[in-house]
Structure 1
């Protein structure tokens, strides 16, 4: 994956460095004609602080942008009926940065559209530090736990930016435990004892929306322990599931 040393089995990566090359290396993989990239960004954060990658590189066939905390774009998106996936670039905006139900649903929709059409999905979440400005670590931890499982179900390659200088070592260590790999600074501090319940097989299957049977089953176990009634979930179902958990 570019010059960044990412394990082949790492689907979800935590990036604790702020260099553009790291972000570019996490995104710039495979055939650009089959690559779809989604960036989740907070306008209040400076683009130079991390994320977005190098804009001079080969651009993907599909590009998505979810802007969180952007009131102006959110009003425009609402009046337009949501993202327009017919073109090369699709945008969505969420006015309330604490509305993780809405954020999870938006990311799910991008993943569904692109997976259904056979694109290789890459996600840049910039940044968890910004999200933690609005929501408690416990709630963000729950959200990331469900979201990373969701991304795994479509074989997405995702990286999440976190600035370790803005958080206690225990908080950073707790978030490290969610991800397959950490690129950049790591902490050996003990994890915070967060109060959350592990997502059940049924919850994860519901979050898988209408992925293929193989993709859904890949995150709920082998044939002998698959749930009897794995069914498709609508965007409303996903939003309600996140509402129940958060």
Structure 2
């Protein structure tokens, strides 16, 4: 993991949505120590829990001590189809993309249940998709709250955004929420 990103840091990752650089940077930022000592939180609008777990295993070997996956979107399709075969250390929940308050509550619940002896790393994939369902003002308030919660628990959080999908004003409005940035464009 990049030494610049100490616990309590939130990072904005700018990369094309389907790029290999995005995926590599994501895993690099999640790799904050031995897998057993990590608590990994993944918020995804398009990933399937079984695929995220398989991807983690392929990249890191063993699973983290705890992994939470919040699937934002089609709850019926994404939270089923073999997801019941996930290990006990993987917690999956769903959120309606049109209910930013409900998403915030699920994230707050996960953070409240964490064990403080594990390093929390979080991935929010993606701000581009969040902004398809929420206006910039609502998204900003939500992200300000969530980034603050991550700082409070000394997490290393990163948030993906596809810069080609947004105007400069939107990107400029969001950048102050983050402590640092990684540009993969």
Equivalent position of 2:153 in the other structure? 154
TM-score by length of structure 2 reads: 0.80
Quick one: structure 1 residues 5 and 164, their matched pair in 2 at CA, closer, same or farther if it must change by over 3 Å?
farther
- Segments of structure 2 that go 5 or more residues without pairing to the other structure are 49-54, 81-86
Structure-1 residue corresponding to 2:113: 113
Kept in 1: contact 2:127–2:159 (CA 8 A): yes
CA contact (8 A) 2:38 2:120 kept: yes
Deviation (angstroms), 1:114: 1.6
Distance 2:57 2:136 in 1: 30
Q: Could you give the per-residue CA deviations for residues 202-239 of structure 1, whole angstroms, max 9, x where no partner exists?
A: xxxxxxxxxxxxxxxxxxxxxxxxxxxxxxxxxxxxxx
Higher strand share: 2
Q: How does 1:208-227 map to 2 (within 5 A)?
A: none
Query: Which residue does 2:46 correspond to in 1?
Result: 43
Matched, 1:69 2:82: no
- Cα deviation for residue 71 of structure 1 reads 3.0
Task: Give 4+ residue runs of structure 1 displaced > 2 Å after superposition.
Answer: 4-10, 52-56, 73-76
Aligned pair count reads 167
The equivalences for 1:1-246 within 5 A come to 1=1, 4=2, 6-8=4-6, 11-17=9-15, 18=19, 19=21, 20-43=23-46, 55-58=58-61, 59-72=63-76, 87-94=88-95, 96-115=96-115, 118-184=117-183
Contact 1:13/1:160 (<8 A) preserved: yes
Cα displacement string for residues 111-138 of structure 1 (whole angstroms, at most 9, x for unaligned residues): 121235x221111000000000011011
| Structure with more relative contact order (C-alpha pairs < 8 Å, separation 6 or more) | 2
C-alpha distance in 2 between matches for 1:61 and 1:44: 21
Kept after mapping to 1: 8 A contact 2:10/2:156: yes
**Residues 186-206 of structure 1, C-alpha deviation per residue, up to 9 Å, x if partnerless?**
9xxxxxxxxxxxxxxxxxxxx
What is the alpha-carbon distance in structure 2 between the residues aligned to residue 42 and residue 74 of structure 1? 10
How far apart, in 2, do the equivalents of 1:8 and 1:113 lie? 22
What is the CA RMSD across the aligned residues, in angstroms? 2.6
In 2, Cα distance between equivalents of 1:179 and 1:130: 18
Q: Secondary structure at the match of 2:157?
A: strand
Q: CA deviation at 1:30?
A: 1.5
Query: CA 1:30 to 1:111, structure 2 compared with 1: closer, same or farther past 3 Å?
Result: same
Deviates more, 1:161-170 or 1:29-38: 29-38
1:173 to partner: Cα distance: 1.4
Gaps of 5+ in 1: 46-51, 77-85, 187-246
